[in-house]
């Protein structure tokens, strides 16, 4: 049962996704912010527990990737729909994840499954996406003024997202042509 703890934490993050989305749609920014922060922290905690106690598993790697994608794609799309972030940023985030999932599925179909291993750049990208979404939600929740910071931070997140997509694409192409 102890070996399941990181996976249960990850599943908890998945369960939070529709709640956070509903809170954003209802513009209940306080609850959206705190639930999102909890989900974001769970991402760090499940990884730490898995590494620290040697509880890593293939299931955990897949669940973590699914939970990250579900959380970030849902939040970015919802924030764009309610007009809090630029739509183009949500499109960049979603496009990267569609590309990654499509590449994984294609590699399976071609009987050359690609191992699921997050790159450092991908971890940096995920951290930036989570931090930016938390900042946006926190700004709405606590009536903070970001002034001109949203545009440059949006471009930073987009650049990291594009760089991560390019790194995964290069790794995938290398794997597929071996």
Per residue in 67-78, pLDDT tens?
Answer: 989 999 999 999
In the prediction, which pLDDT does 1 show? 67
If you write DSSP's letter for every residue of 32-72 in order, what string do you get? HHHHHHHHHHHHHHHHHHHHHTT---HHHHHHHHHHHHHHH
Q: Specify the CATH architecture of the domain 2-176.
A: Up-down Bundle (1.20)
Q: At what angle do helices 29-52 and 58-81 cross, to 10 degrees?
A: 160
Residue 150, pLDDT > 80, answer: yes
Residues 96 and 161: beta-carbon distance below 8 Å: yes
Tell me the per-residue pLDDT of 4-27, one tens digit each, with 9 for 90 and over. 899 999 999 999 999 999 999 999
User: Which is higher by pLDDT, 153 or 65?
Assistant: 153
Q: What is the mean pLDDT of residues 35-60?
A: 91
| Res. 115 pLDDT band, cuts 50 70 90 | confident
Residue 44, pLDDT > 90, answer: no
In the prediction, which pLDDT does 17 show? 96
| Res. 2 pLDDT band, cuts 50 70 90 | confident
In the prediction, which pLDDT does 3 show? 79
Residues near 75 by Cβ (< 8 Å), separated by ≥ 6? 20, 21, 24, 36, 133
Conformational region of residue 85, where left means phi above 0, alpha means psi within -120 to 50, and beta covers everything else: beta
Residue 43, pLDDT > 70, answer: yes
In the prediction, which pLDDT does 140 show? 95
In the prediction, which pLDDT does 104 show? 92
Q: What is the mean pLDDT of residues 85-95?
A: 97
The SS3 of residue 9 is helix
In the prediction, which pLDDT does 151 show? 93
pTM over 0.85: yes
Residue 102, pLDDT > 70, answer: yes
């Amino acid at each position: 049962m102890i070996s399941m703890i990181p996976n249960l934490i990850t599943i908890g993050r998945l369960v939070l996704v529709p709640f956070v989305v509903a809170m954003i749609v209802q513009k209940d920014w306080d609850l959206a912010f705190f639930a999102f922060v909890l989900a974001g922290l769970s991402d760090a905690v499940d990884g730490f527990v898995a590494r620290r106690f040697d509880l890593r598993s293939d299931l955990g790697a897949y669940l973590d990737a699914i939970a990250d994608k579900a959380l970030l794609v849902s939040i970015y799309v919802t924030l764009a729909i309610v007009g809090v972030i630029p739509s183009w940023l949500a499109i960049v985030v979603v496009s990267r994840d569609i590309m990654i999932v499509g590449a994984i599925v294609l590699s399976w179909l071609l009987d050359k499954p690609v191992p699921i291993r997050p790159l450092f750049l991908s971890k940096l990208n995920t951290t930036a996406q989570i931090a930016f979404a938390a900042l946006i939600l926190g700004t709405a929740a606590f009536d903070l003024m970001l002034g001109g910071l949203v545009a440059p931070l949006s471009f930073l997140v987009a650049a990291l997202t594009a760089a991560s997509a390019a790194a995964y694409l290069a790794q995938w192409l290398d794997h597929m042509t071996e």
